[in-house]
Structure formats: structure tokens, C-alpha cells
Amino acid sequence: MSTTGVQEAIIEAATGARNCALAQYSKFCVGAALEAEDGAIYTGCNIESSAYELTMCAERVTIWKALSEGARKFTRIAVVADTERLTPPCGACRQIIWEFCGDIPVILANLRGDTETLQMAFLLPRPFDADFLDEIGDEK
């Protein structure tokens, strides 16, 4: 499959996942799709709770699903929302994407067909990760 075809497939998967969102409070439905190194695509949607702090974003649902099924290396993630401006991952999702996926391409898309691809390092410059924890061990 061509690079364009792969991008279309992952956006389509994220769009389909968006249809399963449980956003009864915000009405802000988001879908995400994560491609593993072996080509498998994992999807997720945002799920809201009346206790807002328990709400989970689509990106984290997607990553948790992939990890829980044994996937460990990822090549790209797509995020789809019904907004005019393309919606990037929130700060918490950026941290989780960096920690579990590294500097992968992040494809932003909306239902109008607009897309933009950004590297994770652009969205989360100077990230905190396990390398900092390793430094603590080196000081002992």
C-alpha cells in the first residue's frame, strides 16, 4: 500500500472510532488510530465520565488497547475530530504518546478532509521521559 493509502487507512480507522465516542457532556467526539510496526491498527475514542477527571482521551484509550494486546513499537497515530481547526492531542496525551510511541508522526484530521502531519517532537519539545530517571540512578 502506498504512503498515501496508509495515511488514508489510518484516518479512516480513527474516523470510525470517533463514531463510538461517549461524549455525552462535552459533545466533543474524538477518534484515534495507532499503527503498530507490524501494520496492525488499534483504535480508540474518548470516553467521558460525569466526574470529568475520570474522562479518558481517544489517544490514551488507543495506546492502552495496543499495549494491552502486546504491541510495543508504533509507526504513526491519527487523531480525528469534527472541528474546523485540526485538533492536536492534549498535554497528557502528548506525554503518553512520547513515552510509549516516541517521535512518531501525528496525523491530525477533521471530517472536512483537512489533514496535517507533525512529528511528536514538534508537539512535545524537550519531553520528560525515562532517560531522566536513569540519571538519578547514575548519581547514587
Which SS3 state, helix, strand or coil, does residue 49 take?
coil
Q: Is residue 116 annotated as part of the catalytic site, yes or no?
A: no
Q: Is beta strand 105-110 parallel, antiparallel or unpaired with respect to 74-81?
A: parallel
- Which stretch of DSSP H or E encloses residue 13? helix 3-18
- Backbone phi, then psi, for 118, in 5-degree steps? -130, 145
| Cβ neighbours for 118, distance < 8 A, ≥ 6 positions apart | 88, 105, 106, 108
Q: For residue 103, is it left (φ>0), alpha (ψ between -120 and 50) or beta?
A: beta
Q: Which of 59, 99, 116, 139 is catalytic?
A: 59
Catalytic (active-site) positions: 59
